[in-house]
């Protein structure tokens, strides 16, 4: 399954997206034995992100689109032609799934997964013509041996500064350690999916990055979802 769709209220103010929701390789793809170490890691998917989106969608009746395939098969949060569309290495190790990919295989993955995912987001936004885009991701507390990342939630943006700052204030007031455009910056092209669909449909967009130790803990995740619900009135204005 390339895409998981969740319906919502017709007048919903937000469409949720989750580009890195799954570590699944749909048939006929299989994980090579040499890649088994990577399947449950942040390289293959964003741990806890799908659970946050499904809970928020259910509680706030928000339409949602989640990828049903691993980002290592093809990354829907990167444009076609990007160097990391088919990641070749992780933690200094070769990813055998993507070793010496033939151009025909690249095109097949783009057609079956990347294009279908983005077509689904486009269709959802056409159905909910007032909705803004809120993309939900998670990030590893330590990246490739670097320093610990102190922020618990990152609010990433490109064009919508005022919306991002207002969202950060709400989350900060709820007790979270919040940072703008960290641990990645939306202005470096790292919110590709949210930006793509917001500009195409003339909407505003944010991407939320939630630290994975928060996202995978049931109690803290429940708190995150409760906090994210407080963003919905902001995105309704």
Supply the CATH number for residue 89's domain.
3.40.630.40
The pLDDT score that the predictor gives to residue 219 is 97
pLDDT in tens, 186-210: 999 999 999 999 999 999 999 999 9
Give the structural domain span for 78: 3-236
The pLDDT score that the predictor gives to residue 84 is 96
Rg (CA), the chain: 17
Q: Are strands 14-18 and 132-139 parallel, antiparallel or unpaired?
A: parallel
pLDDT in tens, 34-54: 999 999 999 999 999 999 999
- Quote the Cα angle for 138-146-43, to 5°: 40
The pLDDT score that the predictor gives to residue 146 is 83
Query: Exposed, middle or buried, 3 (CB in 10 Å: 0-12/13-18/19+)?
Result: buried
Contact 118, 76 (CB under 8 A): yes
* 3-state SS class at 206: strand
Q: What is the pLDDT along the chain (237 residues), one digit of tens a residue?
A: 799 999 999 999 999 999 999 999 999 999 999 999 999 999 999 999 999 999 999 999 999 999 999 999 999 999 999 999 999 999 999 999 999 999 999 999 999 999 999 999 999 999 999 999 999 999 999 987 789 999 999 999 999 999 999 999 999 999 999 999 999 999 999 999 999 999 999 999 999 999 999 999 999 999 999 999 999 999 987
The pTM of the full predicted model, rounded to 2 decimals, is 0.96
Total domain count, the chain:
1
The pLDDT score that the predictor gives to residue 163 is 97
The pLDDT score that the predictor gives to residue 148 is 94
Dist. CA 12–CA 82, nearest whole Å? 33
Contact 235, 65 (CB under 8 A): no
Tokens of 69: 């395939």
The pLDDT score that the predictor gives to residue 32 is 97
Phi-psi region of 149 (alpha: psi -120 to 50; beta: other; left: phi over 0): beta
């Amino acid at each position: 399954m390339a895409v998981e769709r969740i319906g919502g209220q017709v007048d919903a103010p937000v469409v949720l997206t989750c580009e890195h929701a799954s570590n699944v390789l749909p048939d006929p793809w299989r994980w090579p034995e040499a890649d088994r170490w990577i399947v449950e890691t942040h390289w293959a998917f964003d741990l806890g992100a799908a659970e946050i989106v499904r809970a928020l969608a259910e509680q706030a009746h928000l339409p949602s689109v989640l990828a049903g395939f691993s980002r290592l098969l093809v990354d829907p949060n990167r444009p076609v032609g990007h160097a990391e569309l088919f990641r070749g290495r992780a933690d200094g190790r070769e990813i055998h799934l993507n070793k010496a990919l033939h151009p025909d295989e690249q095109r097949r993955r783009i057609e079956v997964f990347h294009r279908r995912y983005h077509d689904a987001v486009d269709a959802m936004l056409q159905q909910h013509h007032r909705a803004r885009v809120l993309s939900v991701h998670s990030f590893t507390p330590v990246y490739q041996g670097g320093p610990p990342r102190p922020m618990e939630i990152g609010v990433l943006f490109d064009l919508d500064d005022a919306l991002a700052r207002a969202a950060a204030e709400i989350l900060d007031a709820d007790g979270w350690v919040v940072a703008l455009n960290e641990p990645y910056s939306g202005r470096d092209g790292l919110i590709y999916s949210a930006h793509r669909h917001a500009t195409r449909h003339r909407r505003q967009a944010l991407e939320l990055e939630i630290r994975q130790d928060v996202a995978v803990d049931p109690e803290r995740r429940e708190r995150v979802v409760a906090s994210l619900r407080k963003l919905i009135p902001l995105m309704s204005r």
